[in-house]
Structure 1
Amino acid sequence: MGSNGVDFLVTEQGPVVLEVNSRFQGSLDTVEKAMGINLFEAHAGCFRGELPEKPEAKLFAARGVIYSDRELFIDRKLMEVILREKSADIPPQETVIEPDWPLTSLFAFASTREEVIKSLEEGAERIKTFIADHMTGETGSLSSAREA
């Protein structure tokens, strides 16, 4: 009863379930935006015997996570680039991000699935291009002294 989530991968053979979670998921915000409902209120209502009507999707919403391909120092300039996007889970300035660690989450909202995927890809590309063009040195910093 209440909010549950299923983590899965889509493979060439079809979806493969990784785990089932009987708790709120990290994608809660995208579901709420797409469906136009407050999932916490719906979840709490279930325990009072109040089941919500099946909502209709109002738009497409997606969340993507950018993982770092190198060690990065989060300086002021990189922080500004990340904040220009619809982002969350942003590391504090002056943080060091290790290779393969999550850098940030991006959100996209659009009227079609294709548009929402394109928006996520474009946002990720802007951040990755900035990193490739401006981050230098072994720690991926704009300056070896790590000045922000």
Structure 2
Amino acid sequence: MKERVLVAGFATRHVAQSAYRAGYEVCAVDHFCDQDLRGYTKDCCTFDELAELYDRVIEMARRHSIDMLVVTSGAEAIGTTIPLCGTPPAKVERYLDKMEIQRFFEGLGVPVPPLAAEGAYPAMLKPRRGSGGWRNAVVRSDEERRNWEEIFPDTPYITQQLVDGMPASVSCIADGTRALAVATNEQLLRGTNASAHGFAGSITPAGHPFAARMASIAEAIVGASGCVGSVGVDFMLGSDAWAIEINPRFQATLDTVEMATGRSVFQLHVDACRGRLPERLPEQKCVAVRRILFAERDCVIRADLASLAPAVADIPWPGTEVEEGQAIVSVYGWGSSREEALRMLDTHITTVRRYMEHG
């Protein structure tokens, strides 16, 4: 009989898809419950605010016999009696606070952007809690800092010295004491407006001279963290491989990692949580890229994009209302080189936009 997994968090499609393809029966608690998530799950329910997440998880567990709980962003610290396949909340809590992450990295002696002195600019300002980078901002004066504080009142934050480079990450698996780098990734950021530093996609593998150094540092970080399963470390690759964050859960780069390596990251996660790491790491089979398309204005998605799969994922239901700046759909490209993958991505984006215009 198939093991039944409950995947819970703000966005779960990528993990539910991986679990489904690995042979598990999947239930999900998700903010969106897009078309393709429904296709991978036995049951799926939504929530509006994160405060509702716990009750929805308990509700789903009453409806179905659940063998394991797997969490994504927003649910990392949730505590239930359902057997957890991942890092326990008591351990994960430290890595949800960016000040604690700063201290952890400094204690390990890995390269990390130093905290900025009061009044020193430019600087990178980050909320102490939260994921996705959409509230991160470069501030260049006291006035810009105050403006940010007015937009996000009562939000504790840290301010780091600014380091330039390419946003990147390493996807690791860990058994609590050892960690192995499964893939390196280039991270694509939105690059404009107030959410300029928000996550907007990934390219796997990362084509950068410091990619191997970054992977080695990530293994040391994750191995020392005590986390288990799928764990990611974000970097800025510039004059060095600067460690930025550790993410003790599945990462948004999961799709391109699986496409590029041909391996099931979900199965690697389950095995690692049960104390088993692979003897050999997956080899790169291709270059894969994902780009999230965001709404340029308030709109209604009238077209049914489901027929465009597997070039798209996170597929909205026809009639979905989307506010300006919100994600619409993920689009993919792949090929034998970075250039070939990006060309395919551009072709697929053009097709998606044509469908939406005539939907």
Could you tell me the TM-score, scaled by structure 2's length? 0.32
Q: CA deviation at 1:35?
A: 0.8
**5+ unaligned residues in a row in structure 2: which ranges?**
1-173, 175-228
Q: Give the unaligned 5+ runs of structure 1.
A: 136-141, 143-148
Matches within 5 A, 1:36-55: 36-52=262-278, 53-55=280-282
Displacement of 1:18: 5.1
Is residue 311 of structure 2 the alignment partner of residue 84 of structure 1? no
More moved, 96-105 vs 47-56: 47-56
Q: Which has the larger radius of gyration?
A: 2
Larger RCO, structures 1/2 (Cα 8 Å, 6+ apart): 1
Structure 1 SS opposite 2:345: helix
Asked if 1:66 corresponds to 2:299, the answer is no
Q: What is the aligned counterpart of 2:319 among 85, 94, 97?
A: 94
Query: Aligned-residue CA RMSD in angstroms?
Result: 2.7
Residues 44-66 of structure 1: CA deviation (Å, up to 9, x unaligned): 22234322112210111111100
Is residue 251 of structure 2 the alignment partner of residue 28 of structure 1?
A: no
Q: Structure 1 residues 38, 16: closer, same or farther in 2, change over 3 A?
A: same
Q: Measured at CA, do residues 122 and 7 of structure 1 come closer, stay the same or move farther in structure 2, by a change above 3 Å?
A: farther
Query: Residue by residue, what CA displacement relative to the aligned partner does 1:56-85 show, whole Å, maximum 9, x if unpaired?
Result: 10111111100111122111xx324x6425
Q: Percent identity?
A: 33
Matches of 1:37 and 1:69, distance apart in 2 = 35
- Deviating beyond 6 angstroms after TM superposition, the runs of 4 or more aligned structure 1 residues are 12-16
How many residue pairs match? The answer is: 130
Q: Could you say which residue in structure 2 is the equivalent of 1:122?
A: 347
CA distance change for structure 1 residues 14 and 117 in 2, over 3 Å: closer, same or farther?
farther
Q: How far is 1:26 from its partner?
A: 2.4
* Distance (Å, rounded) in 2 between the aligned partners of 1:68 and 1:104: 9
Whichever residue aligns with residue 64 of structure 1, its letter is: R
Are the counterparts in 1 of residues 287 and 341 from structure 2 also a CA contact under 8 Å? yes
